[in-house]
Structure 1
Amino acid sequence: MTVGQERAWREHWPALGKTVSELEGTLDVDAWFGRKAPVVLEIGSGMGETTSELAKREPDVNYIAIEVYDAGLGQLMLRAEKLGVDNLRLLHGDAVVLLTEHIAPESLDVVRIFYPDPWPKKRHHKRRLIQPEFVRLVASRLRVGGTLHLATDWEDYAEQMREVCDGEPLLRNVYADEPGGWAPRPDWRPVTKFESRAEREGRVSRDLMYERR
């Protein structure tokens, strides 16, 4: 980690963060934020560029980001500090463990998974996050009417995401009538350096939006 990221961990983690492996029982989100509000969970916040901007724009939601990389969480805390964000909490660890053991069924309003690791080699596809069992787990934690929003710039992964989510009975593709079932790219999602690079390299980003039945 950089010096700044290490400082962010020292100064901000005690107030903003929790480690999944140290959680006990169901996470009391209302108590953690000190208020009751819609809950957004972002899985895989990376270096926090999108996460910090969205949390800033959505002050009326309780925004939770989970990430496995220390440096990414450190950078996210730096970005949040710079933007004056106070409705963001961070989790370090495995999203599957979090959802299985510490998030109550039908308690999340939105789950966002933007640009998960594509594992582009075919022999590694089984490592991809978006698989039927995982999507079933996510769907079970969404409130009825809640939203699962996915985005990727890898065409075959986008198609896999669509196939997996279309096969989950608890989910309905909000844009099923659009060409390919793809959601229009939302104007509110920031264009990151990562997405810009993908576009330069000829990869088209795809969004998918599903509603919990």
Structure 2
Amino acid sequence: MNSEKNTKDFGHIKSFVSHRAHMTPSQKEAFDRLMPVWGIPYEPKTLDLQATYQRTAPTILEIGFGMGETTLKIAQARPEDNFLGVEVFPSGVGALLRRIDDHQTENIRIIQHDAVEVVRDMILPATLAGVHIYFPDPWPKKRHHKRRLIQPPFIQLLASRLAPGAYIHCATDWENYAEQMLEVLSGCDLLRNQYDQFAPRPDYRPQTKFETRGLNLGHGVWDLLFSRNDQPNPEKLLLER
């Protein structure tokens, strides 16, 4: 079976709602002025990462970066890596562009588009050094779980874009979603869990104010860290026969 064909052809339910488009004047000014500098337009063709960043370096994809606070801190702490942020909401894009400008951080680029289509159409197989998906919309109502980003077809596609040994790092503060993430990531034959189940928060992921407040109130946060596995899992092969 051609797994690449499968990942190309699968349909998906969008994991976001498009009406959340309000921007503050500051975000709008940054968006209009800086998107031509640090933004990459979505196109259904392969993105040349070396030309985009004007260097050869490991590239980390971040899906749904929100207001970009965590993205900026990680990019500053890891100047040797390239960071490609994908976000649909213009307010978040404007906020991150403002942060990039304020801190003169040059290793971040932004695509404002549906992440599934970006990964499918613009990222070559086996090219990413890592993927960050932090606190995606949990769609807490059971009837809305189908809208969650972490679903088997997308994870299979995403894993195919990882270079050997590269990683996927997810984090959520919804236990039910954490359990779904663990099941979906564990079920992908291209990935292996770096821990028995959930991972401790890696040092490179800063703890946000929102997260700290939640932890102080007794809320949980679950990290998952999986890496690209190019050795077939014999147990899975037996189950597939």
- Does the TM-score normalized on the shorter chain lie above 0.5? yes
Query: Structure 1 residue 92: deviation in Å?
Result: 0.3
CA contact (8 A) 1:175 1:183 kept: yes
Equivalent residue number for residue 191 of structure 1: 207
Given residue 9 of structure 1, which amino acid in structure 2 is its aligned partner?
Answer: F
Please give the TM-score of this superposition, normalised by the length of structure 2: 0.83
Kindly provide the CA deviation profile for residues 141-189 of structure 1, in whole angstroms up to 9, marking residues without a partner as x: 000100000000100100100011111010000012xxxx111112221
Count of aligned positions: 207
Structure with max Cα Rg? 2
Structure 2 counterparts to residues 97-136 of structure 1, below 5 A: 97-136=117-156
Give 4+ residue runs of structure 1 displaced > 3 Å after superposition.
none
Q: Relative to total residues, which structure has the larger strand share, 1 or 2?
A: 1
Equivalent residue number for residue 150 of structure 1: 170
Q: Which moved more, 1:163-172 or 1:200-209?
A: 200-209
Equivalent residue number for residue 66 of structure 1: 86
> 3-state SS of the aligned residue for 2:189?
coil
Please give the TM-score of this superposition, normalised by the length of structure 1: 0.94
CA contact (8 A) 1:106 1:141 kept: yes
Kindly provide the CA deviation profile for residues 40-76 of structure 1, in whole angstroms up to 9, marking residues without a partner as x: 0000000001001111111111110000000001001
| Residue 171 in structure 1 maps to residue 191 in structure 2 | yes
Equivalent residue number for residue 81 of structure 1: 101
> 3-state SS of the aligned residue for 2:169?
strand
User: How far apart are the structure 2 equivalents of 1:106 and 1:196?
Assistant: 35
User: How far apart are the structure 2 equivalents of 1:124 and 1:27?
Assistant: 32
| Residue 43 in structure 1 maps to residue 63 in structure 2 | yes
Say which of 42, 45, 53 aligns to 1:25: 45
Equivalent residue number for residue 14 of structure 1: 36
**Percent same amino acid among aligned pairs?**
49
User: How far apart are the structure 1 equivalents of 2:219 and 2:147?
Assistant: 21
Kindly provide the CA deviation profile for residues 23-46 of structure 1, in whole angstroms up to 9, marking residues without a partner as x: 141001110111110000000000
Gaps of 5+ in 1: none
Aligned-residue RMSD, C-alpha? 1.1
User: How far apart are the structure 2 equivalents of 1:70 and 1:144?
Assistant: 33
Q: Which moved more, 1:203-212 or 1:191-200?
A: 191-200
